[in-house]
A and B are shown apart, each in its own frame.
Chain A
Amino acid sequence: MTEKITVALAGNPNVGKTSIFNAITGSKQHVGNWPGVTVERKMGKRVHNDLEMEIVDLPGTYSLTAYSLDEIIARDFIIEEKPDIVVQVVDATNLERNLYLTTQLMELGVNLIIALNMTDLSLAKGDRIDADKMQEFLEVPVVSTIGSKGNGIEGLLDEITKEFHRPQETDNVFTYDDAIEKISQDLESVLESDPFFIHYPSRWFSLKLLEGDENIIRKAKESDSYHGIEKILNKVDAELLEAKIADQRYKTIQTMLRQVCNINTCSLSGSDMVDRVVTNKYLGIPVFLSLMWAAFEVTFTFATPFMNMIDIFFGRLAEAVTNVISVPWLASLVGEGMIAGVGSVLIFLPNILLLFFMISLMEDSGYMARAAFIMDKLMSRIGLHGKSFIPLVMGFGCNVPAIMATRTIEDTRDRLITILITPFMSCGARLPVYVLLAGAFFGRDAGVVIFSLYALGILIAVVSAKLMRGTVLRGEDTPFIMELPSYRVPTLKGSAIHMWERGRIYLKKAGTIILIGVVGVWLLASMPAPGSNAVFASDAVYGTTQSVIGVIGQFMEPLVAPLGFDWKIAVALLFGVVAKEIVVGSMGVLYGAGENEDNLSQILAAGAMTPLAGLGLMVFTLLYAPCFACIGVIKRETGSWKWTMFQLLYGTSLAWIFAFIVYQAGSRMGLLV
């Protein structure tokens, strides 16, 4: 009979945890969010020696003191869910800092196994690490692995099986000086006498109390014995103790390292040489901008032919299906509703796959940390982190993958703000609207107008970020304390897995919302308004005054009239929520220009709309609710309808206000008439 066990993978960021996870679980993995929060939860299965292992990839953490959501999740999982085995993946090229987490895992008293990873790189550096001696010193199993090549994985699984069948009481090899040990023991005896603390390892809990961990102190205050705890804590100088505990942990690590390995520190490593160029005072920014440009180019230029192919394919498919189905309304539902809907979801897939391939290369090579390092000063001005820069730039291509790219931002508040302002980055789909309107009204100045719209988007994003920092998402600035990992050669397999994972998430989650939205709009546009005697889903109805959406458009007319828009624009904007490209097409239909954009341009220029209203419409298109795909992704990435609605309402209000100012102020001043 197979037994089921849970194995948690813990470790610092950038230690190759993901490659170990991929090597163990292969294709049997799934991704979801941790219950209640938006941090990703990766799980996978593996059967080994009659043991069914559920592997949980915990977020990367430097210590078990919880500062960020990631760390709280990792810590809570280990304490509350009590996995049978915890495997800590340790970067062999960066032992000293990595083993700091080990000290805390051991204090927790978990069944620990150490996967000494990237041993090939440490060997290449000239380090010699004696894994057996390390095992002896730490009294926990130590297995050498090379996650990227899959080496040592079987050995690791064997060790997990062994450890499960005979869990060992690990003696704590990390001890502190007598003064700390004395106070810790006093605390431990109080904790052990109170059943309230039964779930917590008392040694770990007492050390956390001594370190002044706020979450732990809050927890302790709920107990009856807090008075006793407080009495002990009042006797100590918390700040001094906190430094001493960290210091002594590192001292023990140093003692061990002297015994078990010979670390070569004198050579100038390859990373330092690369960094001399990449983060150079003068070259740093040009190199960064070139790489950004290359990533942007690959993502959006390479994707275009594939997007066109998908577009053409679905266009033909819809046409073919429409011809085959003889019931007009059904043909329209399947063709213009469902197939067009699926197409509008799939069309972003090349973008997403390529973008995530590029991001994965940048992350795995270690460049992403440098990008954050370079851009942090700029981004901190608006209260964000250096890592927010890349998603924002990507937003110029398409907001959908850009919002997914915010996953590289660890701090939840920074990430949320970045998600909320990304839609103000004018995406590629808005460009056709600008080209049409600027071309119709501004002739030679069209370029300046379009450029100003991009600039306005950036300005609104920057100001919004500052505003949100100061109001709805107030909080102290997250400290920028970041490791700059060594450069490594990314693996094709790792990047491919990452790319596919993102693509799958997009299709699954965003897809459902987009589809529902698209079909919903089709229904509204096809249904004759009550009281009209038109036929359901005939061309005479679709999107005209006779359709439900036409009635809605007319109903909305007073709302958009102060902006200089008529009901046709209102309908076009409503359709634009499905996809911004549709705005132009809808206007073509509604103004009777058909699909021909030159016709439409002439009709508009001939007075169907004033130039001021045209400018306002461009501003409105830039700022108002993003497309369905984007809304779906905002919902998925924030995990909250509240924030999704906030973005929609905030953006749409801004759009209205700005278009109003443009139109009203412009007409008062007699501009552009």
Chain B
Amino acid sequence: MNEKTLDFIEPDTSVKVLKVAGQKSSRKRILDMGLTPGTRVDVVRRAPLGDPVEFKLKGYNLSLRKREAETVLVEIVE
């Protein structure tokens, strides 16, 4: 299987969200921001110091710290 957590994905890669785990409050927020299962997410870039990471989904740009990205389970799509 190609399952990985979102913090491991290199920039310029597209993934599909499988599940959001993690702490209650941040999980809810991540879901509210549109990272629902099935959503396609493009990893855009990392910040100059390596963290946080910028993503593109649903036509807008979102940034998460690696700590939060770690809670999102994804699979790589072609």
A, B co-complexed: yes
How far in angstroms is the closest Cβ of chain A from B74?
14
Contact between A481 and B48, CB atoms less than 8 A apart: no
Q: Which interface class (under 10, 10 to 19, 20 to 34, 35 or more) fits B?
A: 35 or more
* Given A479-B67, A482-B63, CB of A97 within 8 Å of CB of B33: yes
Contact between A483 and B54, CB atoms less than 8 A apart: no
* Given A97-B60, A376-B65, CB of A479 within 8 Å of CB of B25: yes
Most buried by A among B19, B59, B68: B59
A408 CA to B54 CA, complexed, in Å? 20
Return chain A residues, CB-CB under 8 Å to B30. 481
Contact between A214 and B47, CB atoms less than 8 A apart: no
Return chain B residues, CB-CB under 8 Å to A486. 60-61
Contact between B52 and A480, CB atoms less than 8 A apart: yes
Q: What is the 8 Å Cβ interface bit string for chain A, positions 223-242, against chain B (1 contact, 0 not)?
A: 00000000000000001001
* Given A483-B62, A484-B62, CB of A247 within 8 Å of CB of B38: yes
Return chain A residues, CB-CB under 8 Å to B37. 243, 247
A377 CA to B32 CA, complexed, in Å? 24
Residue of A nearest to B32 (CB): A63
* Given A279-B47, A480-B65, CB of A373 within 8 Å of CB of B29: no
Return chain A residues, CB-CB under 8 Å to B60. 94, 96-97, 483, 485-486
Residue of B nearest to A63 (CB): B32
Contact between A481 and B62, CB atoms less than 8 A apart: yes
Most buried by A among B19, B38, B58: B58
Most buried by A among B23, B32, B64: B32
How far in angstroms is the closest Cβ of chain A from B59?
6
Return chain B residues, CB-CB under 8 Å to A250. 34, 36, 39, 58
Q: What is the 8 Å Cβ interface bit string for chain A, positions 269-310, against chain B (1 contact, 0 not)?
A: 001000100011110110000000000000000000000000
Q: What is the 8 Å Cβ interface bit string for chain A, positions 372-404, against chain B (1 contact, 0 not)?
A: 011011101000000000000000000000000
B31: interface (CB < 8 Å):
yes
Contact between B59 and A242, CB atoms less than 8 A apart: no
Report the count of interface residues on A (CB-CB < 8 A): 47
Residue of A nearest to B68 (CB): A479
Q: What is the 8 Å Cβ interface bit string for chain B, positions 5-42, against chain A (1 contact, 0 not)?
A: 00000000000000110011111111111101111000
Contact between B48 and A67, CB atoms less than 8 A apart: no
Contact between A380 and B36, CB atoms less than 8 A apart: no
How far in angstroms is the closest Cβ of chain A from B31?
4
Return chain A residues, CB-CB under 8 Å to B68. 479-481
Contact between B52 and A377, CB atoms less than 8 A apart: yes
Contact between B26 and A479, CB atoms less than 8 A apart: yes
How far in angstroms is the closest Cβ of chain A from B56?
9
Return chain A residues, CB-CB under 8 Å to B65. 376, 380, 479-480
* Given A65-B32, A250-B36, A279-B45, CB of A214 within 8 Å of CB of B24: yes
A376 CA to B66 CA, complexed, in Å? 11
Q: What is the 8 Å Cβ interface bit string for chain A, positions 140-157, against chain B (1 contact, 0 not)?
A: 000000000000000000
How far in angstroms is the closest Cβ of chain B from A365?
15
Return chain B residues, CB-CB under 8 Å to A477. 67
A363: interface (CB < 8 Å):
no
Contact between A246 and B26, CB atoms less than 8 A apart: no
Residue of A nearest to B26 (CB): A479
A100: interface (CB < 8 Å):
yes
Residue of B nearest to A380 (CB): B65
Return chain A residues, CB-CB under 8 Å to B44. 275
Contact between A62 and B63, CB atoms less than 8 A apart: no
Contact between A373 and B31, CB atoms less than 8 A apart: no
Contact between B54 and A484, CB atoms less than 8 A apart: yes
Most buried by B among A95, A100, A246, A380: A246
Most buried by A among B30, B33, B47: B47
* Given A280-B48, A284-B48, CB of A96 within 8 Å of CB of B24: no
B51: interface (CB < 8 Å):
yes
Return chain A residues, CB-CB under 8 Å to B28. 65, 67, 211-213, 242
B49: interface (CB < 8 Å):
yes
A211 CA to B27 CA, complexed, in Å? 11
A486 CA to B56 CA, complexed, in Å? 12
* Given A284-B47, A376-B65, A483-B60, CB of A246 within 8 Å of CB of B24: no
Residue of B nearest to A366 (CB): B61
A265: interface (CB < 8 Å):
yes
Contact between A62 and B32, CB atoms less than 8 A apart: yes
Could you show 23 A-B contacts with beta carbons less than 8 Å apart?
A62-B33, A94-B59, A94-B60, A96-B34, A212-B24, A213-B28, A214-B25, A242-B31, A243-B31, A250-B36, A265-B59, A275-B45, A373-B47, A374-B48, A374-B49, A376-B47, A376-B51, A377-B52, A476-B23, A476-B25, A477-B67, A479-B29, A481-B33
Nearest 3 Cβ contacts at the A-B interface: A284-B48, A377-B49, A247-B36
Q: Which residues of A contact B (CB under 8 A)?
A: 62-63, 65, 67, 93-97, 100, 211-214, 239, 242-243, 246-247, 250, 263, 265, 271, 275, 279-282, 284-285, 369, 373-374, 376-378, 380, 476-477, 479-486
Given A281-B46, A476-B25, A484-B54, 8 additional A-B pairs, CB 8 A: A62-B29, A63-B29, A212-B28, A213-B28, A243-B37, A376-B52, A377-B52, A484-B61
